[in-house]
Amino acid sequence: MSISLGQILLGTASAALQIEGNLPRTNWHDWAEAGHIADGTTPHPTTDHWNRWREDNELMADLGLQIARISVEWARIEPEEGRIDRAALERYREEIEDLRARGIRPMVTLHHFGNPGWLEDQGGFTVEESVGKFLGFVERVVSGLGDLVDDWVTINEPNVYATQGFMFGEGPPGETSWPKLRRVIRHLAVAHCEAYRMIHSLLDGPGRSVAVTFAHHVRHFEPMNPGNPLHRAFTRIDDELFHRSVEKAFFSGIFDAFVGKPSREIEPGRYADVIAVNYYSRTAVTGLKDGVFPGVETTDLGWEIYPEGIVEVSRVLHERYGLPIWITENGCADNGDADSLERFRCRFLLAHLEAMASSGLPFERYYHWCFVDNWEWSEGMVPRFGLVHLDRKTLARTPKPSARMFKELIQAGAITDEIRERYSEPR
């Protein structure tokens, strides 16, 4: 049976720090230098996209991508506080113009885990002044690129950024402080709400539809043992802290007791035009940390492959906020084996897309994470999330079977029996 993809546009997502290389100092450069990356790599050269962007755009066009989510790096555009690198902004313009000329609709993320070194030295988003500084940066970018871009993500995964850096200590600056965790979420939420209003006031006009949102990392939480009251309680707590409190502030400008009241006045209202979901996996809950049910199929990073989850988490958000849904990230670490570039990515993709297309929910976009194998933060270059294989020595790009399948799906506008048959089995 063929399943129509209906109105869902298909493309890929990426983040500047994970692909560009050649960047001025950021919080992640410091983190890498301090020895926190599993394979000892740094944010340079990653995939060297800064120099190879034309080749990447061309490959995206060859694959027929309809949409592309990219990010601009604050440190590159403002390498020192108050100094804007116009050439860098111009270079991003060129890249985005080229995407558009190839018929690929760009979406731009303004903050994807990276802080300029100078901001990090001042305490990053733990200090309130960061909000005004971020807004200054947003204004420069949106004034410089706004005529080319209708779709914006202000901040990527505030819950992941804050918990990694300030709760689990697994990302920069590697702290474990509840007061800082709450402050960071609060400041990011204020920054988002104000950026939402600013982008609209700069870009809205007759005949133009601008979409601004934040990318929400959502997991499907379930108690490891439903009979265990502690597991059940933590499932509620995790959902409340990791999703609800953060979400209320970002979607609605409602700051609850956990996030805390901001000192800048934010009117409760609507601060997102679409629900942007980054979905990867399900968590079997026993406490605050991630867990996996025994015996389930997992990716090379040990994350459960749970396609139904993409619909389950989106349904909850749709019931709460009633907006169209864009999957701004979904993907898997699949490093293949001796004979193949990947083992299960095609199956993973088909199962997630099929769940979305048959859900009855208003899914409009699917951005696969990611295009070319990239630098996976503290995991370094080892996990391969790309549709396109990166040779780590030569940096040569080779499309994987999943890339060919993606192209066929876009051409067919449907998951056909032929596609399913050709790509379902490991090859």
Residues that bind ligand BGC (CB under 6 A): 15, 156-157, 160, 217, 278, 329, 369, 376, 385
Closest approach, Cβ 302 to ligand BGC, in A, equals 12
Q: Which is nearer to ligand BGC, 17 or 138 (CB)?
A: 17
Supply the angle between the helices 308-321 and 345-357 in degrees, to the nearest 10: 40
Task: Give dist(CA 121, CA 282) in Å, integer.
Answer: 35
Closest approach, Cβ 38 to ligand BGC, in A, equals 12
Give residue 275's region: left, alpha or beta (phi > 0; psi -120 to 50): beta
Residue 211's nearest CA partner among 99, 328, 78, 72 is 328
In contact, 344 and 426? CB cutoff 8 Å = yes
Closest approach, Cβ 386 to ligand BGC, in A, equals 11
Q: Which is nearer to ligand BGC, 53 or 377 (CB)?
A: 377
In contact, 333 and 380? CB cutoff 8 Å = no
Closest approach, Cβ 417 to ligand BGC, in A, equals 31
Task: Give dist(CA 327, CA 213) in Å, integer.
Answer: 12
Please tell me what DSSP assigns to residue 241.
I
Q: Which is nearer to ligand BGC, 247 or 376 (CB)?
A: 376
Closest approach, Cβ 194 to ligand BGC, in A, equals 22
Closest approach, Cβ 231 to ligand BGC, in A, equals 24
Closest approach, Cβ 328 to ligand BGC, in A, equals 9
What's the Cα-to-Cα distance from 297 to each of 309, 333, 340, rounded to whole Å? 14, 13, 19
Q: Which is nearer to ligand BGC, 109 or 253 (CB)?
A: 109
Q: Which is nearer to ligand BGC, 68 or 160 (CB)?
A: 160
Residue 45's nearest CA partner among 74, 13, 14, 23 is 23
Q: Which is nearer to ligand BGC, 255 or 344 (CB)?
A: 344
Closest approach, Cβ 191 to ligand BGC, in A, equals 17
Q: Which is nearer to ligand BGC, 255 or 366 (CB)?
A: 366
Task: Give dist(CA 176, CA 154) in Å, integer.
Answer: 25
Q: Which is nearer to ligand BGC, 231 or 243 (CB)?
A: 243
Residue 130's nearest CA partner among 196, 74, 69 is 74
- Residue burial 197-236, b: 16+ Cβ < 10 Å; e: rest: bbbeeebeeeeeebbbbbbbbbbbbbbbeeeeeebbebbe
What percentage of the chain's residues is helix, strand, coil (to nearest 5)? 40, 20, 40
Q: What is the 3-state secondary structure (H, E, C) of 32-86?
A: HHCCCCCCCCCCCCCCCHHHHHHHHHHHHHHCCCCEEEEECCHHHHCCECCECCH
Q: Which is nearer to ligand BGC, 74 or 369 (CB)?
A: 369
Q: Which is nearer to ligand BGC, 387 or 415 (CB)?
A: 387
Closest approach, Cβ 374 to ligand BGC, in A, equals 7
Closest approach, Cβ 84 to ligand BGC, in A, equals 25
Task: Characterize the bridge pairing of strands 9-13 and 363-369.
Answer: parallel
Q: What is the dihedral of CA 48, 53, 54, 59, to 10 degrees?
A: 90
Residue with tokens 């079997």: 284
